[in-house]
Structure 1
Amino acid sequence: MLSDKSKKAIRDVYQNIRDSLPDFAVRRSQNILVAEMAKTLAGNFDKNRRLIIAEAGTGTGKSLAYLIAGIPLATEAKKTLVISTATVALQEQLIHKELPFFRRQSGLKFEFSLVKGRQRYCCEQKLAMLAQADDQIELLADLATIPKKRDLQLIKRLFTAYAAGKWKGDIDSWPTQIPDDIWQMIVSDRHSCSKSFSAHRNCPFHKAREALDQCDVLIVNHALLLADLELGGGIILPKPEDCYYVIDEAHHLPRITRDFSSAHASVLGAKGWLQTMAVSMRQLTQAIASSEISEPVTKLLSSINSINKELTKIHSLMSANDKQFSDDSWRFADGELPEALADLAANMNHETKRGVSQTAKIVDILAEQLKQDQLPQAKANKLIAEVGFYLQRIENLHQVWNMLIKETKGTPLAKWVEKSDSRQDDHIFAASLIDVDSKLEHMLWSQCGAAILTSATLTSLGNFNYFRRQVGLLNDESTQHLQLSSPFEFEQAELYIPNLALAPNEQGFTELLGEKLPSLLPDKKASLVLFSSYRQMNQVAEIIRNTTKLELLVQKESSRTEQLQKHADNVKANKTSILFGTSSLSEGLDLPGDLLTNLIITKIPFSVPTSPVEEAQSEWITKSGGNPFMQVSVPEASKKLIQSCGRLLRKEKDSGRITLLDRRVISKRYGPALLNSLPPYKRNIEF
């Protein structure tokens, strides 16, 4: 229960923040958000399942709310507050602005840090060895890559700065971009740069991890959070039961979890690196004359040979059935492989499992020999890194074929094959979960100390059902739900739906857009026009440029930064400025005040299920007696339409017009639900 001590701590923090800002606006919606989050974290509703889904519109002050509620309660409960985001922009805002301000003004003492993956850090030992190498360079170079002279010059500068304490050893803090080929020579890897080796205990990655133990608040991205949970939790971050999680930008979580749960591998590509791996393993037995190593290497070489034979059979099968698999992507209906391919897949699963086991055994033997000083450190580092590299590859290969043979009782996996972009005679096999609801329940919701899921857009069609189903909380009665509208005066924006002759799904709509849009683009105003596809956007842009003198800033014709700067310059100069963009500009684009007063949405943002995962999901829903259009397409469109409309009002005094050029919100049976899920804009609908 929320104790009097906690209540006082939250009130004191709020008062301190309020007193520090002369223009602080008391927002009832923010106060409600703080209160409900605090009661959830304290276990007022359910002490065993402390979960809340909170949608709070733009301007509510979500980040300040979860800091006010989260930090005092996490501190009292001796938990770590882990804030997970989907975008780098929000991470930077929290690290460089929100948290420093909050710590200065709240009166609370706490430490915070951004958590980054291992691949963002160098290995101190690799860096030192390369920087100090001369005639031993071939021995020290990772994966037989011999650095060039100019590469060594940069490596020596990196080492000098690191040794002097002027660089922390992470790729992000170096003032210029470090080329990827150089970074791969010194990057930390989980096999050779292990804390179990005394020489590596002070490597940048391990020092960063030790520093996390002193932190009360950690900032991560969703992918890193999932990586930790996939490993069982408590590997990168504290254990889930020791964390209070804030999942900000939570509407991205289902997609990122699904992407994280997929695997893919090519046929000929795998044959190529397996042959290189075999050569490397033979060289290993020559470099280390040890019976302890020779036995697993012999077994591994046998397994590699068997895998290559199976891959050759798979390649032959695909080539022989080229007409059947002639499309760029071919999905296996209901997740069922043809019998001939299923047999080969089972063999691949068996042999790759053996390969993983023997490769892991070799890594363990090398690590033990290093610990026992049976191998020189430089030699051991190179060998462990190299074998570890192949271990990750063969683990991925096994994961793909293991997923391809897997049969599930409930929702099937999406399984497909596609032609390689680099080689037309090569094929990439892939598999993915369709739904991640049970995965999130198993890894996160049932394990965590508490969780807050928040975003400006979590509802679809006016309720949380679609999102709750996606994240596995649809039938969880203990989860709290809170929907708070933005504090903005939505009547300051007009929603205009003109009476057009054609709907977006009718022939001639693109040409109609080219004719109609110029009259909807006011002079000396800032406009943003959102399209459903690049193709249609470019076609309309061409029509307008050929028939008018309007200057357009069309997405991808120059960089986003350049276009937004040009747009801002136009507005400042009191010129007409028109941005053309697609769905990527419908979320996260912040154009407050005069930077946007006229927003045009050309069509309801329906997404056609074109990816194998989306197709498999639609197939499964249909087979289960459902309607994928109403169960997925319409809720997704509702969410995206709300996000698109949200580009207009960014500050409390903003105003303008939203024009929707899709009358299906009036004419179709699903239309009113889409329309009524939007904020209460002043409506102007032509009939």
Structure 2
Amino acid sequence: MLHSQIKSDIKQCYENLGNQLDNFIPRRAQNYLVAEIAKTLAGEYHPKHRMLVAEAGTGIGKSLAYLLGGIPFAQFNNKKLLISTATVALQEQLINKDLPLFNRIYPREFSFILAKGRQRYCCTHKLEACCTTDSDPQVALWEEKPKKSDLELFRRMLTACQERKWDGDRDSWPTTIPDRVWQQIMADKHSCHAGMPKHRSCPFAKAREHMDKADVIIANHALLMADIELGGGVILPEPENTIYIIDEAHHLPQVARDFSSAAASLKGAASWLEKLNQSVSKLAELAEYSKAGRFQNTLQENIQHLIPTLRQMATNINPTLLNKDGVYRFEHGELPAWLEEEAKGCKEASKKAGQSLGKIHDLISERLKENEIVPRLGEQALAESGFYLQRLENLEKVWTLMAQPNKEKGAPLARWIEKSPERENDFIVEVSPLEVGYRLDQLLWSRAAGSILVSATLRALNQFTYFCRQAGISENDGTRFLALASPFDYQNNARLVIPALPLEPQADKFTDLLIKTLPEYLEGETASLVLFSSYWQMNKVTDALRPLAKKNKWQLLVQGEESRHVILKKHKDNCKNGKISILFGTGSFSEGLDLPGELLTNLIITKIPFAVPTSPVEEAHAEYIESRGGNPFLQISVPEASKKLIQSAGRLLRKEEDSGRVVLLDRRVINRRYGKALLDALPPFKRVIEYN
């Protein structure tokens, strides 16, 4: 049962909220969500499996709801509250707006912090090494020799660190730091950790100290996955002591899949292995030959197995097998016998090489602690060996997954090779799981003190089944499910218009029809957003309509021509100054775009957002479903399209007083059997279906 103290704190928050916000109106759906979060965490629905999956429509105020329901419970039970998001925009909203507001209305003290991965911070010792005047920077680790401007940037950053004007966070440096520069100074788990006395005051170590003391931690899905893949509790608090709020939860399965995937080039890997081979003697000398000699021998033996093997593999690949995108996918994840054997050998060689280099790295670390070697040389050696250790770990992961036999039950791995965009006659070997739900369950849901998953779009075709299958959530194990409709008055404030068009989007002349039809639905509107299915189609329509836009004094803003931030600022300025403003965008504009009130009154969706299964992972998933007698179109494409169509339509109404129309230029919602399900899953707009 929910403790009376928690109930009292939540009630007090609500009373204070009315005093803090002008015109605050309590929302029934938000109150209900707060109560359900608190009751779920208290174990009222299931004593051990404390999990809630909630789809909360736009306007409910879900972020304030989970703060109200989660923080009082977590504090009373001495648990950490971790909020994981998919986008920087939501993190900024939480840090700059929602949590400061909650701090003012909550009757108790609490602290919060934004957590970032180790690689977002610089290592000051690596930075010092790059600024040392009596030796070149670690040139072996550079793909190409550092520029003079790179060295000047290092010195400015070091000065800023020493004068405490910069905290070592990449995101807080005033200008963009090039990747080639950042790679030389970013913190890594091998050479920059609290076990090394000189690294205890490094930027990442300081950030970790603050995080350990914080009551509420904001992270992103990628950092969450990085932590649980390491076993949990390595970067973030341990799952057993943490209540997880997964906001924008519909993104989590894809992030989990990306984290379980691996890729490495063939000739590219051989190239850096050669550099490592040249550095081994120097590293072993610093580690002390008497102790490191056998590790050096094992490391070099395995490097000398890997280099010719990887190069020969690149030679063995027949370029004529690649498709027009430069990809060859192994059907059903099954490798040819020769590649299977090579994969096993590469797996063992990369594993032994990594273990041996790890031993040399540890010996150097010990000698550095005991002041047996010059600190500058020791630090540089640890940075260099740490750099190669990470690469060897990735190489081992790739070949372990490539060599892994397909299981009798469950989906196989997707395996493919791809032409390298950077190196001539080189290929990238890539592996990805098709289904990651079991990993999320094993590493997170089954261990967490409590899990609250929220998003404005979790259901597909009005059901949670598709999301649950992706995220490893059972629908009958005590998990609580909620679908809370938006409080907006869709019937009176918005229309869904489906014009009577002679062609469907898959027709050859459909783009020409768009060029002819769009002006009719843009005419007389002041703020429009047109969502296209591809850049190619958007650019063709743009070229055709630009003269008309100029003639009519329409301000046409096209995604890709300027940054998203600049385009949206121009659009807002246009609307404010009474100019007709039209945004053209693709799929990425269908989510996370917040244009309330007069900033958007006319939304045009050119087609149902069916994804074309062209990526090797999507092709492999469709192949797997077909092999089991399923229909990938109905089981994957339609649910995904439903979710994306809801997200696209969700751009129109952002506040209760907003109004406007959605125009869907795709008759398949009327003409096809699956269309009714797609239409019924949309918000309850007033429908206007036109007929010839």
TM-score of the aligned structures, taking structure 1 as reference length: 0.96
Partner AA of 1:220 in structure 2: A
Give the conservation status (yes or no) of the 8 Å contact 2:115–2:219: yes
Tell me the matched-pair count.
Answer: 683
Q: Given the superposition, is the C-alpha separation of residues 404 and 128 from structure 1 closer, same or farther in structure 2, using an over 3 Å criterion?
A: closer
1:32 equivalenced with 2:32 (yes/no): yes
Q: Given the superposition, is the C-alpha separation of residues 147 and 675 from structure 1 closer, same or farther in structure 2, using an over 3 Å criterion?
A: closer
Instruction: Select 1:338's aligned residue among 336, 339, 351.
Output: 336
> Offset at 1:228?
0.4
1:544 equivalenced with 2:542 (yes/no): no
Corresponding position of 1:13: 13
> Offset at 1:176?
3.0
Give the conservation status (yes or no) of the 8 Å contact 2:529–2:602: yes
Give the conservation status (yes or no) of the 8 Å contact 1:599–1:658: yes
Partner AA of 2:283 in structure 1: L
CA distance in 1, matches of 2:393, 2:519: 56
CA distance in 2, matches of 1:276, 1:519: 62
Query: Cα RMSD between the aligned structures?
Result: 1.9
Query: What SS is found at the alignment partner of 2:53?
Result: strand
> Offset at 1:500?
0.7
Corresponding position of 1:433: 433
Corresponding position of 1:680: 684
CA distance in 2, matches of 1:322, 1:177: 38
CA distance in 2, matches of 1:395, 1:650: 45
Corresponding position of 1:178: 177
Partner AA of 2:425 in structure 1: D
> Offset at 1:126?
3.1
Corresponding position of 1:573: 577
> Offset at 1:87?
0.4
Query: What SS is found at the alignment partner of 2:126?
Result: helix
Superposition map of 1:27-66 within 5 A: 27-66=27-66
Give the conservation status (yes or no) of the 8 Å contact 2:53–2:454: yes
CA distance in 1, matches of 2:180, 2:311: 31
> Offset at 1:489?
0.8
Q: Given the superposition, is the C-alpha separation of residues 147 and 668 from structure 1 closer, same or farther in structure 2, using an over 3 Å criterion?
A: closer
Partner AA of 1:187 in structure 2: M
1:228 equivalenced with 2:232 (yes/no): no
Q: Given the superposition, is the C-alpha separation of residues 44 and 501 from structure 1 closer, same or farther in structure 2, using an over 3 Å criterion?
A: same
CA distance in 1, matches of 2:416, 2:126: 40
> Offset at 1:593?
0.8
Partner AA of 2:481 in structure 1: H
CA distance in 2, matches of 1:612, 1:129: 42
Q: Deviations over 1:201-254 (max 9, x none)?
A: 111111111111210000000000000000000101110010000000001001
Give the conservation status (yes or no) of the 8 Å contact 1:138–1:146: no
Q: Given the superposition, is the C-alpha separation of residues 646 and 326 from structure 1 closer, same or farther in structure 2, using an over 3 Å criterion?
A: closer
> Offset at 1:130?
5.0
1:324 equivalenced with 2:324 (yes/no): no
1:497 equivalenced with 2:498 (yes/no): yes
Q: Given the superposition, is the C-alpha separation of residues 138 and 252 from structure 1 closer, same or farther in structure 2, using an over 3 Å criterion?
A: same
> Offset at 1:141?
7.5
Q: Name which of structure 1's ranges 150-159 and 267-276 shifts more when overlaid on structure 2.
A: 150-159
Q: Given the superposition, is the C-alpha separation of residues 670 and 240 from structure 1 closer, same or farther in structure 2, using an over 3 Å criterion?
A: same
Corresponding position of 2:389: 391
Give the conservation status (yes or no) of the 8 Å contact 1:56–1:456: yes
Q: Name which of structure 1's ranges 345-354 and 111-120 shifts more when overlaid on structure 2.
A: 345-354
Give the conservation status (yes or no) of the 8 Å contact 1:13–1:108: no
Corresponding position of 2:256: 257
Q: Given the superposition, is the C-alpha separation of residues 308 and 527 from structure 1 closer, same or farther in structure 2, using an over 3 Å criterion?
A: same
> Offset at 1:323?
2.4
Corresponding position of 1:273: 272
CA distance in 1, matches of 2:669, 2:380: 62
Q: Given the superposition, is the C-alpha separation of residues 62 and 126 from structure 1 closer, same or farther in structure 2, using an over 3 Å criterion?
A: same
Q: Deviations over 1:155-211 (max 9, x none)?
A: 444334333333222222233333444433432221221211112111111111111
1:585 equivalenced with 2:594 (yes/no): no
Partner AA of 1:264 in structure 2: A
Q: Given the superposition, is the C-alpha separation of residues 655 and 335 from structure 1 closer, same or farther in structure 2, using an over 3 Å criterion?
A: same
Corresponding position of 2:662: 658
CA distance in 2, matches of 1:317, 1:470: 36
Query: What SS is found at the alignment partner of 1:567?
Result: helix
> Offset at 1:573?
2.6
CA distance in 2, matches of 1:559, 1:203: 34
CA distance in 2, matches of 1:316, 1:260: 29
1:667 equivalenced with 2:671 (yes/no): yes
Q: Given the superposition, is the C-alpha separation of residues 147 and 425 from structure 1 closer, same or farther in structure 2, using an over 3 Å criterion?
A: closer
Partner AA of 1:297 in structure 2: Q
Corresponding position of 1:511: 512
Partner AA of 1:323 in structure 2: T
CA distance in 2, matches of 1:344, 1:158: 45
1:640 equivalenced with 2:641 (yes/no): no
Give the conservation status (yes or no) of the 8 Å contact 1:522–1:576: no
Partner AA of 1:467 in structure 2: F
Q: Given the superposition, is the C-alpha separation of residues 635 and 150 from structure 1 closer, same or farther in structure 2, using an over 3 Å criterion?
A: closer
Unaligned regions of 5+ residues in structure 1, if any? Answer: none
Corresponding position of 2:482: 482
Corresponding position of 2:616: 612
Give the conservation status (yes or no) of the 8 Å contact 2:571–2:583: yes
CA distance in 1, matches of 2:196, 2:34: 46
Q: Deviations over 1:488-508 (max 9, x none)?
A: 111210001111111111221
1:351 equivalenced with 2:341 (yes/no): no
Query: What SS is found at the alignment partner of 2:321?
Result: coil
Corresponding position of 1:313: 312
CA distance in 2, matches of 1:652, 1:587: 19
Q: Name which of structure 1's ranges 562-571 and 400-409 shifts more when overlaid on structure 2.
A: 562-571
Q: Name which of structure 1's ranges 586-595 and 142-151 shifts more when overlaid on structure 2.
A: 142-151
Superposition map of 1:37-436 within 5 A: 37-128=37-128, 130=130, 133-135=132-134, 137-138=135-136, 143=141, 151-285=150-284, 290-318=289-317, 321-325=318-322, 327=324, 328-407=326-405, 408-409=407-408, 410-436=410-436
1:533 equivalenced with 2:534 (yes/no): yes
Partner AA of 2:571 in structure 1: H
CA distance in 2, matches of 1:338, 1:331: 12
Give the conservation status (yes or no) of the 8 Å contact 1:370–1:377: yes
Give the conservation status (yes or no) of the 8 Å contact 1:58–1:650: yes
Q: Deviations over 1:100-140 (max 9, x none)?
A: 12102222310100001111222233344555x433x3388
> Offset at 1:637?
0.5
Query: What SS is found at the alignment partner of 1:49?
Result: coil
Q: Given the superposition, is the C-alpha separation of residues 418 and 572 from structure 1 closer, same or farther in structure 2, using an over 3 Å criterion?
A: same
> Offset at 1:604?
0.5
TM-score of the aligned structures, taking structure 2 as reference length: 0.95
CA distance in 2, matches of 1:561, 1:229: 33
CA distance in 1, matches of 2:311, 2:138: 35
Give the conservation status (yes or no) of the 8 Å contact 2:129–2:137: no
Q: Deviations over 1:61-95 (max 9, x none)?
A: 01000000110000011100000000011111111
CA distance in 2, matches of 1:326, 1:531: 26
> Offset at 1:284?
2.7
CA distance in 1, matches of 2:287, 2:606: 67
CA distance in 2, matches of 1:476, 1:387: 49
CA distance in 1, matches of 2:427, 2:137: 36
Give the conservation status (yes or no) of the 8 Å contact 1:307–1:351: yes
Query: What SS is found at the alignment partner of 2:224?
Result: helix
Q: Name which of structure 1's ranges 451-460 and 167-176 shifts more when overlaid on structure 2.
A: 167-176
Q: Name which of structure 1's ranges 303-312 and 267-276 shifts more when overlaid on structure 2.
A: 303-312
Q: Given the superposition, is the C-alpha separation of residues 664 and 181 from structure 1 closer, same or farther in structure 2, using an over 3 Å criterion?
A: closer
CA distance in 1, matches of 2:578, 2:65: 37
CA distance in 1, matches of 2:353, 2:235: 27
